[in-house]
Structure formats: structure tokens, C-alpha cells
Structure 1
Amino acid sequence: MFFHKTKTIIIAGASRFGAGLAGKLSGRNTRIVVIDLNEDAFRKLPDDFGGYQIVGDGTDVDLLKQAGIESAEVFIAATDDDNINILASQIACRIFKVPEVFSRLNDKNKEKLLSGFNVKPICPFVLSVNEFDRLTEGEYQEAVVS
């Protein structure tokens, strides 16, 4: 008999992005923990969300320990504040050595603050531009002058 280890994923920030990810990942043989300072933010989670909700600061080391970060395989900093996301992801990466760390950034220029860390930036603006290009099959590419 095979036993599947349940993967622990911590999401700091119940923003639309964070809540959407939590809903998408919930039930996929994962343990999802969502942290947010504002208890009212959890209303964005889908009705069938089967994870845990913790009210608090996603940069608080003691709270992260309570959330299970020491055994987490994935950490996602998904607040609406780039600076908080950068700090939270650096804490997950440097202090807790979480294997996969993602940080949502609205300002692509802040990516350089993550260099040297094992943190993957998620820039919604860039993803939207890339998706537009994919959907239009590159129809609007820059003309090449020869």
C-alpha cells in the first residue's frame, strides 16, 4: 500500500489572488493554510475551501511556525503589498528554507530585491501581457525591418 504525503502550502495574504490560489489548490492532496491580518479577507475564499485560516501577520516568525512553515513545501506571499510579499518570501526562504517560494509583485522593478534568494516572482502584469500574446498567437508582434 502506498501512502501519499500531504503537501503543506502556506499562503500569506487572502487577496483575490491568494484566495483564488487557495481555492484552486484546496483538495489536491494538500494542506492549505491562509494567513491574513484582516479576518474579513477570508470571505474571498470559496465556500468549499477545506484549508485553515489564521488571522495574523505573514511576516511574524512565531505565527509562521504555528502555521506549520517548518514542514511546508511551498510558501506563497500573496498580499496586495509588494514590500510585505518580499519580506515574507525572504523569511520563508532564508529562515525556514522552504523549498518552493513565490512572491507576487505588482511592480516588476522590485524583482531585483529577490535576486540571490530562491524566490520565484509572480508579476500579474507580465503574465497578462504574455497571455494576450499567446491568445493572439503573436499577431501583434513588432515588425522586423530588413
Structure 2
Amino acid sequence: MKAIIMGCGRAGSQLAITLDRDGHDVTILDINAYQFTRFLPESFGGHTITGNGIDQDVLRRAGIEEADAFVAVTAGDNRNVMAAQIARHIFGVERVVCRIYDPIREQMYHRLGLRTISPTREWARLLKEALEAEETQPVASHEGGGQMGAAP
């Protein structure tokens, strides 16, 4: 799969590293080149592009015309929505997902046909599960082996 990830923060870089490790063709772009050295290991085999992900020329340099998937995970909900719409409707990318922090806006964009994920909503759900758990059990885990669990 050829995937383009817009936003090289914690989430975007982890997704890029995971997809690269799984053998996918990954390009990650960010407006700040420092993000690549900050979050990507030297072993990262994907491509990095410095530029604005809502700029069609930048997206073309990233290979959007051949992309199978596009993920928008910048810190800005509006920027993520715009980039997702451009990827889907202008370039015809089949699999497009965007992160929306605001759960109310996330529902609205989802109803409009965007594939969205709200980390705010997901964390609230996980925290609620942790609070309501009757015994110590893992509620969520991450690749590094740490777990968030409910206290006895």
C-alpha cells in the first residue's frame, strides 16, 4: 500500500514507522522539517516531504496521484478536513482518514461522509472503562508493552 501521512507529530510518526516496518510505501509530510528528525528514527525507510498538506503541488510531490491511502493527523482540525477532502475528491484517493479533536465536529464531518477519528472521544471512552472496571485489567495498551489499566 502506498500511504501518505500529513503531520509528523507523535501519532503521524508512529503510524509512518509502523507502516514502514510492515513493508508499505510511506511518505510523511509536515510544514516543519525538524519534526522528521525529532520523531522519525534513522532507520525509517519512507520518504519525507516538507510542505503544506493542503497545497496540491506539495501533495503531488508526495505522490498523491498514486496513493492508496491518505491520513491527516496535524494539530488542526480544519487543516485535516481540508486535506482529507482534497485527497478524496480532487485526487480520488480511496482510503482517507482524518483526525478531528473536537468530538462534536467529528460527528458532523462523519455524517458528511468523511472517515474520521476523534482521539478526544476515544480517550474519554477508555478512561470511562478504566474507572468502571471492577478489577485490574488492561484497558488499552501500546506497542511498547505499557498498559493503561484499572486499579483494584
TM-score (structure 2 length as normaliser):
0.79
Asked if residue 94 in structure 1 is aligned to residue 70 in structure 2, the reply is no
Q: 2:111 aligns with which of 105, 110, 115?
A: 115
CA distance in 1, matches of 2:41, 2:19: 11
Secondary structure, aligned partner of 2:41 = coil
Which residue of structure 1 aligns with residue 25 of structure 2?
Answer: 31
CA contact (8 A) 2:64 2:93 kept: yes
Judge conservation of contact 1:86–1:114 (CA < 8 Å) in 2: no
RMSD: 1.8
Q: Which of 42, 45, 49 is matched with 1:47 structurally?
A: 42
Identity of aligned residues (%): 36
Structure 1 unaligned residues grouped into runs of 5+ = 1-6, 141-146
| 1:129 aligned residue (124, 132, 139) | 124
Separation (CA, whole Å) in 2 of partners of 1:67 and 1:115: 29
The runs of 5 or more residues in structure 2 that have no matched partner are 135-152
Q: Secondary structure at the match of 1:93?
A: helix
Runs of 4+ in 1 over 4 A off after TM superposition: 133-136
Highest RCO, 1 vs 2 (Cα 8 Å, sep ≥ 6): 1
CA-CA distance at 1:102 after TM superposition:
0.6
Separation in 2, partners of 1:70, 1:115: 26
1:26 alignment partner, SS class: helix
**CA distance in structure 2 between the partners assigned to 1:113 and 1:130 by the alignment:** 20
**1:44 aligned partner, one-letter code:** F
Verify the 8 A CA contact 1:13 1:35 in the aligned structure 2.
yes
Contact 2:109-2:116 at 8 Å conserved across structures: no
Count of aligned pairs: 132
How far apart, in 2, do the equivalents of 1:113 and 1:18 lie? 20
